[in-house]
Amino acid sequence: MPNSEQQAPGGSDSFDVIVIGGGPAGYPAAIRAAQNQLRVACIDEWKNRDGSATFGGTCLNAGCIPSKALLESTELYHRAREEFATHGIGVAGVTLDLAQMQKRKAGVVKAMTGGILALFKSAGVIPLQGHGKLLAGRRVQFSAHDGTRRELTARHVVLASGSTPIELRSAPFQAPQVVDSWGALEFDAVPKRLGVIGAGVIGLELGSVWRRLGSEVTVLEALPDFLAIADQQLAKEALRHLKRQGLDIRLGAKVTGATVGGGAVEVVYADAKGEQRVTVDRLVVAVGRKPFTRELLAADTGVELDERGFIKVDHSCRTGAESVWAVGDCVRGPMLAHKGKEEGVMVADLIAGRYGEVNYKVIPSVIYTAPEIAWVGLTEEQVKASGRAYKTGTFPFLASGRARAMEQAAGFAKIIAARDDDEILGVHIVGPMAGELIAEAVLAMEYSASTEDLQRTIHAHPTLAEAVHEAALNADKRAIDSINR
């Protein structure tokens, strides 16, 4: 395990680039900077609950990767119990071994986090495990996990300190009953009754995991609209399917209190009818995340925070202090791993005098429920509000041969394009593998493609991707495999 003794070749404590934070924003910044022939160190303080220190940040240790591992396992379990019979496959006595499921998840996480050290080694990045604090003049105080402390200097510093879960004053964390998303990924027994506060991406994914394993799941969402940030036609379709799976999603339900007692939690919330109560065995608070900058900045660095605690940056992720940059969840923009990664890569290229830019208009969003929910670009509501004349095309997966063959024909693909020049403005998919299908739309939009460009692109048959092709055709009422409406 690397420690404070590990130094750059030659033993110097001065670097071209020091990255503070080794999550999906920080570690790609470090790797790209090293690829650009710069001397780089990446400092990360993450510690797992067993005390082990690993790179990868929230995403690899407690977010994207463990949640997707459990979503995969639980979906297989659900299918074996509920769907295999339709395929003519009898599987008598399907059982759940949650300890094994969690062990597999831990193995996936370990392989991925260990992989970062291998990537660092190959690229020549110096890993430093412990706390980093920016001092004035691009000096960095590094406090290793073993208690030793030293001062490093750099020509450039990249801050990538990430985010932490928001705690509700009305429902403070109180393990094991009231937990954050990390706690909800670690349950060692399936809760009989599970409450989830917040029907955002994380709440829906965690609710799905435990619902598939048998929990009675109640999701309380303060806003009256489901997935208010998404295209509402998409959100409506997704809500229908999630409710059908047994998720009890209560909208316009603002949690005002939670009391732990007798091993259970009584949750109080207000809806249109007044004060309501629901009792659950475990409660997950998934009401969003906030930037994490504790002990990151000395008082005189010149780096400023905004009113919500995000590090202030310009379009290219420059802070107000010379040669200090900030990327990922600790700065404005969607809190997504791939957004942070592209910012990290951009900054590392700019530092090396190369070209670098992030196209913030074309960042895909994916919710890994079943069916998956994915989109990129503007929603129909946003296009309508802009006043620009537009057209839409949709294609239901019911008309897709591949989706039918997979017995996963729920949902649709929808494309929104400008009436005048046919440019694609947004693509919204709810359906099987939507998170993979959206990549084509992202590429199309990155190249400012028109629906005609997609219409004239050959898509293999039978594939799910044909849904995007046919939605593009339907925008001009020229779909072949569905009725043009």
Query: In the complex, what is the shortest distance from the CB of residue 428 to ligand AMP, in angstroms, rounded to a whole number?
Result: 17
SS3 267: strand
Q: Report residue 241 as tokens.
A: 């399917």
* Residue 287, contacted partner among ligand AMP, ligand FAD, none, CB below 5-8 A by kind: ligand AMP
Binding site for ligand FAD (CB under 6 A): 20-26, 43-46, 57-59, 63-64, 67, 131-132, 160-163, 181, 202, 292, 295-296, 328-329, 335-338, 340
**Residue 461 is among the residues annotated as catalytic for this protein:** yes
Q: Report residue 49 as tokens.
A: 């609950």
Q: Which is nearer to ligand AMP, 201 or 239 (CB)?
A: 201
Partners of 403 in the beta sheet? none
Q: Rounded to whole angstroms, how far apart are CA atoms 131 and 123? A: 22
Pick one of 17, 255, 351, 454: the residue that binds ligand AMP (CB under 6 A).
Answer: 255
Q: Rounded to whole angstroms, how far apart are CA atoms 408 and 429? A: 14
Query: In the complex, what is the shortest distance from the CB of residue 414 to ligand FAD, in angstroms, rounded to a whole number?
Result: 22
* Residue 254, contacted partner among ligand FAD, ligand AMP, none, CB below 5-8 A by kind: ligand AMP
Number of CB atoms found within 10 A of residue 112's CB = 19
* Residue 255, contacted partner among ligand AMP, ligand FAD, none, CB below 5-8 A by kind: ligand AMP
Binding mask 380-419 for ligand AMP (x = CB under 6 A): ----------------------------------------
* DSSP per-residue string spanning 149-175: EEEEEEEEEEE---EEEPPBTTB--BT
Query: In the complex, what is the shortest distance from the CB of residue 181 to ligand AMP, in angstroms, rounded to a whole number?
Result: 9
Q: Which is nearer to ligand AMP, 34 or 255 (CB)?
A: 255
Q: Which is nearer to ligand AMP, 60 or 201 (CB)?
A: 201
Q: Which is nearer to ligand FAD, 84 or 182 (CB)?
A: 182
SS3 257: strand
Q: Which of residues 198-227 bind ligand AMP (CB under 6 A)?
A: 198-202, 220-223
Pick one of 197, 238, 321, 467: the residue that binds ligand AMP (CB under 6 A).
Answer: 197
Asked if 41 and 51 count as a contact pair (C-beta separation under 8 A), the reply is no
Q: Which is nearer to ligand FAD, 151 or 295 (CB)?
A: 295
Helix H segments across 354-449?
380-386, 401-405, 434-446
Asked if 186 and 102 count as a contact pair (C-beta separation under 8 A), the reply is yes
* Residue 44, contacted partner among ligand AMP, ligand FAD, none, CB below 5-8 A by kind: ligand FAD
Q: Rounded to whole angstroms, how far apart are CA atoms 388 and 444? A: 20
Which residue carries 């295209």 as its tokens? Answer: 231
The number of C-alpha atoms within 13 Å of 43 and in the hemisphere containing its C-beta is 30
* Residue 23, contacted partner among ligand AMP, ligand FAD, none, CB below 5-8 A by kind: ligand FAD
* Residue 288, contacted partner among ligand FAD, ligand AMP, none, CB below 5-8 A by kind: ligand AMP
Q: Which is nearer to ligand AMP, 43 or 278 (CB)?
A: 278
Q: Using alpha carbons, select from 305, 288, 287 the residue that is nearest to residue 296.
A: 305
Q: Which is nearer to ligand FAD, 57 or 356 (CB)?
A: 57
Terminal-residue alpha carbon distance, the chain: 61
Query: In the complex, what is the shortest distance from the CB of residue 109 to ligand FAD, in angstroms, rounded to a whole number?
Result: 12
User: What one-letter code names the amino acid at 443?
Assistant: L
* Residue 221, contacted partner among ligand FAD, ligand AMP, none, CB below 5-8 A by kind: ligand AMP
Query: In the complex, what is the shortest distance from the CB of residue 350 to ligand AMP, in angstroms, rounded to a whole number?
Result: 30
Query: In the complex, what is the shortest distance from the CB of residue 427 to ligand AMP, in angstroms, rounded to a whole number?
Result: 20
Which residue carries 């039918």 as its tokens? Answer: 404
Check binding of 288 to ligand AMP (CB under 6 A).
yes
Helix H segments across 124-258?
181-184, 201-212, 232-244
Strands 149-159 and 163-165: unpaired
Asked if 41 and 18 count as a contact pair (C-beta separation under 8 A), the reply is yes
What order do you get walking across the sheet with 264-271 strand by strand?
254-261, 264-271, 274-280
Running DSSP on this structure, what letter comes out for residue 166? P
Catalytic residue among 78, 87, 461, 469: 461
Asked if 226 and 430 count as a contact pair (C-beta separation under 8 A), the reply is no
Residues annotated catalytic, as ranges: 461
| Residues forming the site for ligand AMP (CB under 6 A) | 168, 197-202, 220-223, 254-255, 286-288
